[in-house]
């Protein structure tokens, strides 16, 4: 499966952005989809994930209540709606796909993802 993330850009603190990740290849419904981010000089960290059925979902504590992950299976697309952005959200955001055979345990672990797309840069200005 190939993944293409988009939607990043420059936004003021308190603003919103919606990231998209389009998958090509096998149907998206066979994969857990996750968003991760990597700030300059830091390791890639988990942001959010959604199971192949559209639920359950997992969120990092730092984004709970502000970010929403969703999927549109017919469009083979996963979204990350990001609200109330702050400077700590500045990072390159990556989408990943994890084969459904792995189950839902460990959706927050980047090492468990099988495929990655190119990242999209989100910059939040204060």
Which pLDDT tens digit goes with each residue over 26-60?
666 678 999 999 999 999 999 999 987 767 899 99
SS3 102: helix
Most confident range, picked from 30-34, 97-101, 104-108, 121-125: 121-125
The confidence score (pLDDT) of residue 118 equals 94
Q: Which element (helix H / strand E) includes 12? A: strand 9-12
Are 1 and 23 spatial neighbours (Cβ–Cβ below 8 Å)? yes
Q: How many separate helices (H) and strands (E) can be counted in the chain? A: 0, 11
pLDDT at position 58:
94
Give the span between the Cα atoms of 51 and 33, in whole angstroms. Answer: 6
The Cα–Cα gap between 26 and 8 comes to 25
């Amino acid at each position: 499966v190939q993944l293409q993330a988009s939607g990043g850009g420059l936004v003021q603190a308190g603003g919103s952005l919606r990231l998209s990740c389009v998958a090509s290849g096998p149907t998206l419904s066979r994969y857990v989809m996750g968003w991760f981010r990597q700030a300059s000089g830091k390791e890639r960290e988990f942001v959010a994930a959604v199971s192949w059925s559209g639920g359950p979902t997992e969120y990092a504590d730092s984004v709970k209540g502000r970010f929403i992950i969703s999927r549109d299976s017919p469009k083979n697309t996963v979204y990350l709606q990001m609200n109330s952005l702050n400077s700590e959200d500045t990072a390159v955001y990556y989408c990943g796909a994890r084969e459904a055979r792995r189950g839902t345990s460990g959706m927050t672990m980047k090492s468990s993802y099988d495929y990655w797309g190119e990242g999209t840069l989100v910059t939040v200005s204060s």
